[in-house]
Structure 1
Amino acid sequence: MTKIGIFLVLLQYYLRFGVNGKFFHTRPCEAKSPGCLAKHIQAAMPAFTRGYDYGLNPLDPYPMNNFEVLLAGGLLMRINEGQARGLRKCTVDFARMVDDTLETQFHCNISFRGKYKSTGHLLMFSFNGDGDAKVKCMNLKIHNIMKLGTREDPSGRKFFVMKNSTTTHSYEGRVSYSLTNLLKGNPLAGKAVLQFMNDNWRIVAEEFGDPFVQYGVSMFIANVERLFDVVPQDRLVNADF
């Protein structure tokens, strides 16, 4: 068989059998308690954030390209060639399901790097930046509550449906910023502004960071919805996927 023939056979095998890989080789625990549910979610995080299985998008890293946001005070920020890392290693603080409500809380260390452009005002400063950005967010707490419903397919299998989702977050650890060319043509002033941002990281994070956190959360929730759409309820509950 030629090399191209071998490649096509392997590709066909992957597309048939490899797309829906196993999240769990063994069940983390047997009980259906909140503690066991948290262990199931924790054990699933590497495969869940890797993506590809079950049609999931990769989340670690997750890309940020052509991302544009208008922040408080009129600061327009554009991000390209960006990547955020850290979701794979998030810690599940707790998880519980009562009736049709799933509540979870995570702590994550997230790092971002990419290209940015900024114009406008943030706090007391005027921005006119165009350079490289690095941000590290330590111990970001993410709390989510999902209201779930049920649907049946033609064969009678039951699947979860997400009716709504509410997410809040808080900065439990330090956020650090590194931005080059923050004020074009005035590197000394740019250095002073960057120092102010790092000295007052919490104020800046709350003014500047929330849309970026919500972007990552929205990608995470989209993967959850995809998993609900393709994996039946009983397999999800029993960690059999």
Structure 2
Amino acid sequence: SRREKRTFIFDIHCNFTIRGHYSILGRILLFSLDTEGSAKIKIWNQHIHLEVLEKVVKDEKGEGHYKINSYKYKADYGSDLKLNLTNLFRGSPAISANILDVLNSNSQLVAAEFGGPILDYAIDYAMNVTQRFFSTYTYDQISKVPLTDDFFEDN
């Protein structure tokens, strides 16, 4: 953390799993698809560089809380990526399995084409959870560095 610039910097190397629901209307590689189903995406050895600009504000009780001003990130798609998408080709599990095999064998191409929105969603979700944490716990509960009044900013 760089206190003078009010920036938290996270350099994360991790395995990453995203679970959810998907809907596709369009093309993936050579396949025209109009479908939806359950999704699980696993990424191995992913690197995420995240910079979070923060400030400390006082709530209605006069207690200080971190507040996320903005954030930006850079991420790769790891050393390996595996997609598990159900119902990829409506009504045909065999064709769905074959398409999924092709997508997984070209997973870095698929990630380069569609990974941005997926990572944006995952990072946005993580930042929302982080802000809820900061709103729940006061600055004094999280940090042990005393602050002077001039450090606090308006909401």
TM-score bracket, shorter-length normalisation: 0.7 to 0.9
Q: Does 1:124 align with 2:30?
A: yes
1:103-182 to 2 correspondence within 5 Å? 103-153=9-59, 156-182=62-88
Structure 2: any 5+ residue segments left out of the alignment? Answer: 146-155
TM-score by length of 1: 0.50
**Deviation readout 1:128-150 (Å, 9 max, x if unpaired):** 33444332222222221111223
TM-score by length of 2: 0.73
| Cα offset, 1:189, TM superposition | 4.6
Structure 1: any 5+ residue segments left out of the alignment? Answer: 1-95
Q: Does the CA-based 8 Å contact 2:81-2:104 persist in structure 1?
A: yes
RMSD: 2.7
**Deviation readout 1:179-202 (Å, 9 max, x if unpaired):** 343223555554443222111111
- For the structure 1 residues 233 and 113, does the alpha-carbon distance in structure 2 shift closer, same or farther, using more than 3 Å as the test? closer
**Deviation readout 1:101-121 (Å, 9 max, x if unpaired):** 111122332334455442211
Q: Distance in 1 between matches of 2:57 and 2:39?
A: 44
1:44-55 to 2 correspondence within 5 Å? none
| Cα offset, 1:176, TM superposition | 0.8
Which residue of structure 2 aligns with residue 217 of structure 1?
123
Bigger relative contact order, structure 1 or 2, given CA contacts below 8 A and separation 6+? Answer: 2
| Cα offset, 1:174, TM superposition | 0.8
Q: Distance in 2 between matches of 1:123 and 1:115?
A: 20
2:2 counterpart SS class: strand
Q: Distance in 2 between matches of 1:115 and 1:159?
A: 34
Q: Percent identity?
A: 28
**How many residues matched?**
144
Corresponding residue to 1:193 among 99, 113, 122: 99
